Amino acid sequence: MNYLRTLLITTTILLASFHLNAQSVSKVPLNEIDGTLLIMGDSLSAAYNLSVEQGWVALMTKELKPKAPNLSVINASVSGETTQGGLARFSSLLNMHKPKWVFIELGANDGLRGYPLNKAADNLKKMIKMTRDSGAKPLLVGNHLPSNYGKRYTRVFFNMYKNLAEEESIAYVPFMLENVALNERLMLNDGLHPNAKGQEVVLTNLKPFIIELISN
């Protein structure tokens, strides 16, 4: 638990750094944004065990619609999805929806199943390349694993996203469940997924990054 708290503190520092750097970037007004945002995620973005309307993606879409009426949000997230499964679906989704921006939130199920992290990283890297080759901009979303998976494995998993973001020079969210994962009142009984209230906090965490992505 102490290790996880240390990682959360590190995440907070990274978030602060992102916002400081973002202040100097010129932005397009939300009402001038026109295009599709594709959400590629797993159960954390698929409103697991909740109604679709309670998930952070639906909450975000509802909130942004009056401000960015020409923004289309496609949620292609699937509960239980892995990087391998996401990669297998990715080309057809790019061709179908032709997004300008892609939110990539995959890998947690790879980690929970003990899938080789070098292969997970390779799958994510391929998705990043495919996003760029299509003319879209990617946003990579990281995650933590429960501490019972061991310090070394959880550290390598967490750093996988950071290393990819640095190697590919792309925007990166260190941990979407910041201020949620350790709060039992915001989590379902499984301890892995946010409840309806937790989804609202997840949106608070992610919205600044998504707005930076679509407006820069």
- Residues tagged active-site: 43, 190, 193
Cβ–Cβ under 8 Å, residues 172 and 165: yes
Q: Determine the distance from the C-alpha atom of residue 110 to the mean position of all C-alpha atoms in its chain, rounded to a whole number.
A: 15
Which are the contacts of 128, defined by CB distance < 8 A and separation ≥ 6?
104, 138, 140, 164, 168, 170
Q: Whole-angstrom Cα distance, residue 144 to residue 193?
A: 12
Cβ–Cβ under 8 Å, residues 205 and 46: no
Joined tokens for residue 61: 């879409």
CA of 169: how far to CAs of 4, 120, 137, 139, 142, in Å? 26, 18, 11, 10, 15
